[in-house]
Amino acid sequence: MKRIASFEVNHDLLTPGMYTSRIDGDITTYDVRMVTPNGGVYLEPAASHTFEHLFATYVRNSDFAEQIIYAGPMGCQTGFYFLVRNLDPADAIRLVQQTMDFIADYQDSEIPGVSRIECGNYLLHDLEGAKKMARTMQPVLKDWTVEDLVYKK
């Protein structure tokens, strides 16, 4: 079988940040890497699950809602994929920065979409952990530019 693009990236060179993983026509896949791959520290499932709910809710309610395709966790527990359609890279960076701010500052005690009817694992959530994940990413992405979206070789 043909190797997929994400397996072509040297994970030993990746550091936390936001990268363009691939572009397929009008769809761009961003790799929002939150911890160093194979570094021994991974995203906690409960915190990641809550982070996903908050991230998806925020971006799908943003000015770019119609351009959002998907936001979800990587199986390796080191980050999230963020897929958009026809969204300028600078806007994508700003949106992810704003989303980190939203999650880090989230004050409501109710997490969107967390009931047995709405979620397939509604008991697995950690709001404080999700907020910590976002706070960790805020300084990483603070001055991120379009030029920073390129994987290190």
DSSP 21: E
pTM of the model: 0.94
Residue 11 reports pLDDT greater than 90: no
Residue 10 has what pLDDT? 82
**Strands of the 27-33 sheet, one edge to the other:** 17-24, 27-33, 79-85, 68-73
Give per-residue pLDDT as tens, 36-55. Answer: 999 999 999 999 999 999 99
Residue 2 has what pLDDT? 84
